[in-house]
Amino acid sequence: MKKKQIVDLVTNISLLILSCVILLFPSFKITNIKLVLGIIFSFYSLFKLTSFIIIFKEHDYENLFTSFISLIALVSIFFIELSTKNIVLILLVWLGVMSLIKLKKADFYHDRQNKMWLLRLFILFSFIAINLILCLNLMYEKEVQILIIGFYFLINSLLDSLDPLVCYLMENK
């Protein structure tokens, strides 16, 4: 595996583990949405920025942009009252910008006649569809909202883990 693939995979698995921990929060009666979103967006920003710094020579700016949008979402949760509508708004804006980042990544592969752009388009459309469905289900009590937010980021981590795995498998045919 190339260094970039290893770093991306480790980052995504770390975020996957974080999402699984978030899914356990309601069992321990942790229902503070601001805390949960703060933890998720701070780790997303930190992990993606670290990943970008480690693989800086690859000129892949997806992790940098993801880090910036996660940092903006983190700052916004402290300035906005976190009602259900505002949580959905923050997640939908994050989803929209992340979709643009993933579309740019798919375009990057398409420009170079790499077959990975089909996978990136599949990941993009799956990312949008699944996350829109999850955002629509945030209208319940706090425990359910935390579970849905955990699933939201769990699915994002799983979808992001596909890229380095498929690249590795395609290289070792």
| pLDDT, tens digit, 9 for 90 and up, residues 144-165 | 888 888 888 898 888 888 888 8
The fraction of the chain above a pLDDT of 70, given in percent, is 94
Write down the pTM of the prediction: 0.85
DSSP symbols for the chain: --HHHHHHHHHHHHHHHHHHHHHHGGGGT---HHHHHHHHHHHHHHHHHHHHHHTGGG---HHHHHHHHHHHHHHHHHHS---HHHHHHHHHHHHHHHHHHHHHHHHHHHHTT-THHHHHHHHHHHHHHHHHHHHHT--S-HHHHHHHHHHHHHHHHHHHHHHHHHHHHHHT-
Sequence ranges of the domains in the chain = 3-166
